[in-house]
Amino acid sequence: MLSAAIRKCVWAVLITAAFGHNALADDSLKIAIGQRGGWEQSVSELGQNKGIFKKHGLTLDLFYTQGSAETLQSVLSNSVDIGIGLGTHSMLSAFLKGAPIRGVGGSFTSADEQFYYVPADSPIQSMKDAGGKSISISTNGSASNMFALHLARHFGVDLKPQPTGNYTATLTQALTKQVDIGFSAAPFNLNYVDEGKIRIVARGSEVPSLRDMTSRLIVVSVAGLEKRREVLKRYMAAYLETLDWMYADPAAIDAYAAWSNLPKTLAARAPEFMTKPNMTPTRISGMPGIMEDAVKFKYIPAPLTDAQLKQAFPVEALK
């Protein structure tokens, strides 16, 4: 009997060693993501639905914000572990004010997916007609806020940024003439362009200064980075694996179409506007130009030093 009992114990130890990771509960991460609906914003949820984050021992608790201001507050209040889509200029401003926040990756580089539109019956035919008009941004201090300022400078017109929330709320306000120029991220709302309800008057890709700019970030709190570094490393590994799947498997387009409620024909265009290199979180680029703009538009008083940049963006810590 003793021998049998010992054998059972040995088998129990071996099974636990082999499958212990799966037997343990997954680590949970709460994540705030700006602007539900876009290809960029879908990575965590599509990856979780596919089982990729589960494979890395993670369960994600996701919620979607109206933009940078809400995302930033969620991270600083420790309501979430990770914020996705925080405007880079807003992050720099918060960091220099002493906020305990760090950029650990880029969520998108460039403004290639951004487009600006008016109702079909608007007298605005191009940005040359837009002087003095209001233009949509998600929230003050967001990447879309910075894009609007760049757009005004590029076309030489005076625009009035007006917070309008997410893409759906913005469309409603544009169609009801509460704001003159709406904004969206392709392929979201392109169906209304195809239907003739709205007209595109400008694209983010037209502004050269935005093409190499990491406009939005993946951010964490200082405390979170210190306490949960290994868990965050697994998240980033799963995020990269999800991107590989999204750009290689046609099933990812089906999943995105279902998640975003976009027609598959539109959903299939997402990788066209948001290329994999621009979605790769290990890429943070264009920082000299970003800081120059942040000073010019009064987000920060002066460019960060090399030491400050290294402190603000510990990207290597999660590789």
Q: What is the pLDDT of residues 30-43, one digit of tens each?
A: 999 988 888 999 99
Q: Which two tokens stand for residue 119?
A: 């109702």
Q: Tell me what pLDDT residue 16 has.
A: 44
Mean pLDDT of 50-76: 95
Mean pLDDT of 255-281: 95
> Of 52-56, 138-142, 168-172, where does mean pLDDT reach its minimum?
138-142
274 Cβ contact partners less than 8 Å away, ≥ 6 residues apart: 38, 39, 40, 108, 112, 113, 186
Q: Tell me what pLDDT residue 319 has.
A: 85
Mean pLDDT of 268-291: 95
Q: Tell me what pLDDT residue 22 has.
A: 47
63 Cβ contact partners less than 8 Å away, ≥ 6 residues apart: 30, 31, 32, 33, 80
Domain ranges in the chain? 6-109+213-318, 114-210
More confident residue, 69 or 129: 129
182 pLDDT higher than 50: yes
Residue 293: helix, strand or coil by DSSP?
Answer: helix
Q: What mean pLDDT, rounded, does the chain reach?
A: 91
The domain 114-210 having CATH identifier 3.40.190.10: the answer here is: yes
Mean pLDDT of 229-247: 98
Q: Tell me the HSE value of 294 on the side-chain side, using a 13 A CA sphere.
A: 28
Q: Which two tokens stand for residue 244?
A: 């590989």
Q: Tell me what pLDDT residue 297 has.
A: 86
Residue 74: helix, strand or coil by DSSP?
Answer: helix
Q: Tell me the HSE value of 228 on the side-chain side, using a 13 A CA sphere.
A: 19
The domain 6-109+213-318 having CATH identifier 3.40.190.10: the answer here is: yes
Do the Cβ atoms of 102 and 318 come closer than 8 Å?
Answer: no
Q: Tell me what pLDDT residue 188 has.
A: 86
Q: How confident is the model at residue 14 (pLDDT cuts 50, 70, 90)?
A: very low
Q: What is the pLDDT of residues 185-202, one digit of tens each?
A: 899 899 999 999 999 999
Q: What is the pLDDT of residues 92-142, one digit of tens each?
A: 999 999 999 999 999 999 999 999 999 999 999 999 999 999 999 988 878
Q: Tell me what pLDDT residue 68 has.
A: 85
Q: Which two tokens stand for residue 286?
A: 């264009």
Q: How confident is the model at residue 2 (pLDDT cuts 50, 70, 90)?
A: very low
Nearest C-alpha neighbor of 271 from the set 46, 105, 118, 68: 46
Q: Tell me what pLDDT residue 248 has.
A: 98
In the 8-state DSSP scheme, what is residue 159?
A: -
Do the Cβ atoms of 203 and 272 come closer than 8 Å?
Answer: no
Rounded to an integer, what distance in angstroms lies between the CA atom of residue 241 and that of residue 244? 5
Rounded to an integer, what distance in angstroms lies between the CA atom of residue 45 and that of residue 61? 9
Q: Tell me what pLDDT residue 67 has.
A: 82
Q: Tell me the HSE value of 42 on the side-chain side, using a 13 A CA sphere.
A: 28
291 pLDDT higher than 90: yes
